[in-house]
């Protein structure tokens, strides 16, 4: 089996790494004096190379996204020979799909321009299929034929007129500044501003259409900028909406989901659906916050569900939520009355059952009527008949699978629960850290080891939690045994560390405690989590095969 | 108050008083710039011949930039028309009141549109999801995001 080979290769590789790590920590840790012991203890030896379980990703600030956007716009405007603002509208209309835009535009330039809201439809040369969002033409009686190379008027030029013009929206005759798109629907600056603000702020819309009824022209960016005048906040929001639109349609980009974070992450490795079956793209955005904004590029389930892949994490959660397990329980713990089909749970007593509902008397073992049992009181001698054996087998199989599920689920739920309590542990630890600073001569920086340890515990619990989902779906094999050995080691280390953190502090013991906690943290960091997740990543291939088989067997859709 | 909405509504009201409403539409009540009532009937051949309905317009401070909330009045005296785009609580599913709203439209333009919506109806029936919608509908129809899936009626 070739995958076997790969795995052991990686394994050997891993042990090498570990040895190095061990040595380096021992060197660090061998410094006997407390004073020399500082944050270095916790530094994970930095490796330039990415680890196997990490995905390559690049955090982008909004300005960087805008740069990508304008690169696309410049590209298109260069090819078509149109102005940048026109190219931007075309791209937004085509959802940033350059190839499709080029194809369509080469095919029918005027049709695309009309559909994108750049030019007005000329009376005759319009193929209805490309008309897109174009609305009724009733209001555009003054429509000039939309010149293909004529972009929308860039600046809302105030048009002085001799006869007084009253804006048809506000009927305010004191207004003096008017502007119009290339459709000649003229409105006052105040209405344009109110309209654009309401579209951007209230509706989150980046396509600002002409206010006239039935007019499908879209205001170019420069027009919006002028309309918004001094309202820079709304202008910024407008740019954010544009960037979001761009990001939404680019599969290798994703917005950081944390509230009010404006960063974007580029992760080309996880752009395709198929890549999500072999890697868990846990990424973090570039915002300089602590803790960093970590999230999964592939799914919104949890920030870090390593080592299971997105599809499996989703499947596991669905399984936990489903009441399919309730049905499973009913199946393995109850039987149905042969006469009235009521569901009966036998919770004690002998095999002579009397249905509460229909008073039917039957034998729990063979399900036959009790009257046939004659004098064989309380021991059914019909037990070994074939039908009885089959029924019993089916039931015990179902019971075993339920137990298996519950085994993993309980552990999974346990870690979930502990993770929820970690907030509490955090505040408790903070208090302890303060206490330590007061009662001993340790400085603030020297007691940070507690916090580090809490962070590490939290991370490990998250991973441990998902390893149980993983082992539920793993087929029994040597790999699985290895996996579960690791899982056990990590679990033990985490529980030990947890216990140390929870234990009350004694004056004299602080330095010992510190030594211990540090050791444990390092142990978890180096032995446990990282290696562990990586090993798991090596298992994913195997795991996917199993999954596919499972799914095809149960007729589930691939995830 | 000289907000845009008040000035605009005063202007519309003046026009209605001066030129009258379109045929079949009567202004019932416009005492303030928040809620107006109209009666509406379909003239000529239609499924709703002889029936009179009552329309309620609610304006917010953003009118005419944002659309008014328009619905048929339903109480013990009067019912909403039975129409595939009108729910039994009076809410109307019409794109002109939502995504297709344009600030140049006016109250009388809406009335005329609704009139023609009724006139072109081919069957007197409620929308398919009427019961489900009415059970959970918000008080203000503007809070509902309608799917405009049929523009033939």
Q: Per residue in A188-247, pLDDT tens?
A: 888 898 899 988 988 888 899 898 888 889 999 999 999 988 888 999 999 989 998 999
Using CB atoms, which residue from A172, A198, A211 is nearest to B102?
Answer: A211
Question: Chain B residue closest to A193 (CA)?
Answer: B65
Q: Is the dihedral of CA A500, A501, A505, A510 positive or negative?
A: positive
List chain A residues with pLDDT less than 70.
1-54, 123-163, 323-325, 327-328, 331-332, 349, 373-392, 394-395, 398-399, 505-514, 516-559
Q: Would you call A317 an interface residue with chain B, using a CB distance cutoff of 8 Å?
A: no
Q: Does A211 touch chain B (CB under 8 A)?
A: yes
- Cβ of A170 within 8 Å of Cβ of B104? The answer is no
The SS3 call for residue B56 is strand
**A214 inside 8 A of chain B by CB:** yes
CATH number of B4-137: 3.10.110.10
pTM of the model: 0.65
CA A38 to chain centre: 36
Omega before residue B64 within 30° of 0, cis:
yes
Answer yes or no: are the C-beta atoms of A192 and A179 closer than 8 Å: yes
Of A185, A195, A214, the CB nearest to B65: A195
Helices (H), A60-188: 62-80, 84-93, 98-107, 109-115
What is the reported pLDDT for A142? 38
- Structurally, at CATH architecture level, domain A310-554 sits in Up-down Bundle (1.20)
CA angle, A494 then A497 then A503, to 5°:
140
**Does A188 contact chain B (CB < 8 Å)?**
no
Predicted confidence (pLDDT) per residue in A117-164, tens digit: 888 887 544 444 443 444 443 333 333 333 344 444 444 445 544 567
- Strand segments, DSSP code E, in A231-364 are 253-255, 264-266, 282-284, 294-296, 334-336, 343-345, 352-354, 361-363
Instruction: With CB atoms and an 8 Å threshold, state whether B4 touches A198.
Output: no
Residues 150-169 of A with CB under 8 A from B: 168-169
Where b means 16+ CB within 10 Å and e means fewer, A164-174 reads ebebbbbbbee
- Dihedral sign for Cα atoms in the order A383, A387, A389, A395: negative
Number of neighbours of residue A378 by Cβ within 10 angstroms = 9
**Residue bearing tokens 């919104």:** A300
- Contact of A204 with chain B, judged by CB distance below 8 Å, is answered with no
> Is the per-residue pLDDT at B39 higher than 50?
yes
3-state SS assignment for residue A231: coil
**Minimum-distance CB partner of A212 among B62, B100, B102:** B102
- The residue in chain B having the minimum alpha-carbon distance to the alpha carbon of residue A190 is B4
**Residue B111 scores a pLDDT above 70:** yes
């Amino acid at each position: 089996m070739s995958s076997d080979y790969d795995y052991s290769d990686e394994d050997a590789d891993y042990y090498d790494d570990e040895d190095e790590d061990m040595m380096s920590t021992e060197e660090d840790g061998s410094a006997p004096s407390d004073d020399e012991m500082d944050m270095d203890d916790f530094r994970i030896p930095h490796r330039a190379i990415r680890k196997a379980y990490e995905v390559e990703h690049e955090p982008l600030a909004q300005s960087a996204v805008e740069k990508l956007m304008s690169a696309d716009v410049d590209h298109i405007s260069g090819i078509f020979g149109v102005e940048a603002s026109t190219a931007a509208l075309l791209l937004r209309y085509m959802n940033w799909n350059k190839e499709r835009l080029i194809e369509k535009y080469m095919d029918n330039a005027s049709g695309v321009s009309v559909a994108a809201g750049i030019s007005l439809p000329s009376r005759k040369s319009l193929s209805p299929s490309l008309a897109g969002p174009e609305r009724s033409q009733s209001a555009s009686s003054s429509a000039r034929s939309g010149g293909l190379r004529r972009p929308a008027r860039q600046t809302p030029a105030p048009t002085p007129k001799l006869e007084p013009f009253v804006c048809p929206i506000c009927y305010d005759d004191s207004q003096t500044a008017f502007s119009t798109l290339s459709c000649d629907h003229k409105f006052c600056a105040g209405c344009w501003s109110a309209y654009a603000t309401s579209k951007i702020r209230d509706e989150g819309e980046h396509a600002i259409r002409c206010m006239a009824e039935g007019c499908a022209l879209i205001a170019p960016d420069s027009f919006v900028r002028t309309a918004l005048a001094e309202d820079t906040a709304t202008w910024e929001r407008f740019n954010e909406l544009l960037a979001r639109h761009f990001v939404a349609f680019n599969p290798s980009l994703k917005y950081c989901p944390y509230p009010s974070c404006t960063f974007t992450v580029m992760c080309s490795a996880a752009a395709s659906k198929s890549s999500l079956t072999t890697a868990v793209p846990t990424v973090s955005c570039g915002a300089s916050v602590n803790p960093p904004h970590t999230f999964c590029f592939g799914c919104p389930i949890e920030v870090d569900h390593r080592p299971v892949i997105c599809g499996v994490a989703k499947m596991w959660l669905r399984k936990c939520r489903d009441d399919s397990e309730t049905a499973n329980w009913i199946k393995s713990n109850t039987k149905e009355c042969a006469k009235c089909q009521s569901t009966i749970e036998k919770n004690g007593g002998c095999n002579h059952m009397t249905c509460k509902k229909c008073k039917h008397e039957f034998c729990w073992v063979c399900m036959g009527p009790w009257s046939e049992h004659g004098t064989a009181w309380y021991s059914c001698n019909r037990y070994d008949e074939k039908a009885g054996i089959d029924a019993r087998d089916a039931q015990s199989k179902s019971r075993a699978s339920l137990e298996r599920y519950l085994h993993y689920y309980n552990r999974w739920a346990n870690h979930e629960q502990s993770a929820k309590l970690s907030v509490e542990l955090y505040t408790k630890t903070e208090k302890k850290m303060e206490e330590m600073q007061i009662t001993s001569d340790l400085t603030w920086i020297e007691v940070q080891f507690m916090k580090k340890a809490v962070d590490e515990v939290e991370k490990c619990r998250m991973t441990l939690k998902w390893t149980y989902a993983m082992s539920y779906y793993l087929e029994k094999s040597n790999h699985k045994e290895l996996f579960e050995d690791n899982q056990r080691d990590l679990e033990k280390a985490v529980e030990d560390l947890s216990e140390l953190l929870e234990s009350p502090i004694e004056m004299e013991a602080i330095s010992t405690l510190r030594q211990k906690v540090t050791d444990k943290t390092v142990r978890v960091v180096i032995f446990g989590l990282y290696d562990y997740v990586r090993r798991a990543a090596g298992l994913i291939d195997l795991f996917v095969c199993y999954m596919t088989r499972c799914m095809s067997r149960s007729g589930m859709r691939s995830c | 108050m000289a907000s845009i909405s008040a000035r605009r509504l005063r202007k519309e009201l003046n026009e209605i008083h001066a030129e009258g409403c379109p045929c079949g539409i009567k202004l019932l009540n416009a005492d303030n710039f928040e809620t107006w009532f109209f009666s509406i009937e379909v003239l000529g051949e239609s499924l709703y011949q002889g029936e009179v309905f009552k329309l309620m317009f609610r304006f917010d401070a953003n009118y005419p930039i944002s659309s008014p909330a328009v619905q048929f009045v339903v109480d013990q005296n009067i019912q909403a028309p039975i129409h595939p785009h009108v729910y039994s609580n009076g809410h109307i599913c019409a794109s002109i009141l939502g995504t297709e709203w344009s600030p140049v439209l006016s109250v009388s333009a809406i009335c005329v549109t609704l009139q023609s919506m009724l006139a072109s109806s081919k069957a007197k029936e409620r929308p398919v999801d009427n019961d489900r919608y009415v059970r959970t509908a918000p008080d203000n129809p503007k809070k509902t995001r309608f799917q405009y899936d049929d523009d033939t009626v």
